[in-house]
Amino acid sequence: MQILRTLSDLRQWRAAVPAGRTVGFIPTMGALHAGHMELIERGRKENDLAVVSIFVNPLQFGPTEDFTLYPRPFESDRELCERAGVDAVFAPEAGEFYAKDHATYCEVEGFDRFLCGASRPGHFRGVCTVVLKLFNLVQPHRAYFGKKDIQQALILRKMVTDLSLNLEMILVDTVREASGLALSSRNVYLSEGEKDRAVALFRALSKARALYLDGEKNAEKLKGILKAEIETSDPTRIDYVEIVSQARLDPVLSLEEPFVMAVAVFYGKTRLIDNFLLP
């Protein structure tokens, strides 16, 4: 496995990939867990070569968010990638990745008005910019993203379509603990007690899904169920409970088109997100 530290390392590695070989790309911020490993496994199986990027992207963190605190266990990430059979890890320095005078950004208009976009201004602009730049460098045939971050995945899929990028977007199901808690690099911030309480996100989504499958088609009612169930876990703060269309990511009233039930909740200082796609 090769460790690529600079843009020129990556360009050289990519140029040496023989024509006709497919490249699968898995962008991450590191602190790898079984959710990332599922994406990596898929990337490896479905392509001749798999590249993982590990880069905590400063552009997608707000001024009061956890950029400096974000976990960066590079040695164990490297080992996990090695054991998973990854061909190359791209781990650039922020100083080289973005020049001091970087001024170009990519935005998918309208798709960040709700959900995380509403509470994290500029976040998805940062995500789109880093991913577009990574796509240009890696030139993958397929790119793998988790449905855990559903707004990110759908925004990036739209970016790929709108800009006619020549790659396939693969969205992978959320990997969970046995309790139902979605795996996240931020779960390490949770105390044992907070972790137990946070299972309420999965419980609430499961309850609302059961009602929907039983015939409930009123979005406000399902949102009420979600909120009430989350409130039983004594959350520090509910950031949002939303039901939005999959096509436009805007709130829907009746559930006649494919939709996402999505929640974001603080336990202590840690903000957790989860969602179900339906039907």
Residues 161-180 interacting with ligand AMP (rule: CB under 6 A) = 172, 174-175
Contacts of 160 (CB under 8 A, 6+ apart): 167, 169
For residue 141, indicate whether it is catalytic. no
Give the binding range for ligand AMP (CB under 6 A) out of 67-75, 109-117, 142-150, 231-239: 142-150
| Cα separation of the two ends of the chain | 40
Interface residue with ligand AMP among 14, 36, 197, 203 (CB under 6 A) is: 36
Contacts of 19 (CB under 8 A, 6+ apart): none
| DSSP characters over 115-167 | THHHHSTTHHHHHHHHHHHHHHHH--SEEEEEGGGHHHHHHHHHHHHHTT-SS
Interface residue with ligand AMP among 44, 78, 120, 148 (CB under 6 A) is: 148
Residues 105-134 interacting with ligand AMP (rule: CB under 6 A) = none
Using the minimum distance from each CB to ligand AMP, give the nearer residue, 43 or 235: 43
Residues 180-199 interacting with ligand AMP (rule: CB under 6 A) = 182-185
Rounded Cα gap, residues 142 and 153, in angstroms: 14
* φ and ψ of 83, to 5 deg: -65, -30
CB 208 within 8 A of CB 226: yes
Using the minimum distance from each CB to ligand AMP, give the nearer residue, 31 or 230: 31
Q: How many residues bind ligand AMP (CB under 6 A)?
A: 17
Tokens of residue 60, six digits: 């997608």
Residue 145 found at the interface with ligand AMP (CB under 6 A): yes
Per CB under 6 A, residues contacting ligand AMP are 28-29, 35-36, 38-39, 145-146, 148-149, 172, 174-175, 182-185
The catalytic residue positions are 36
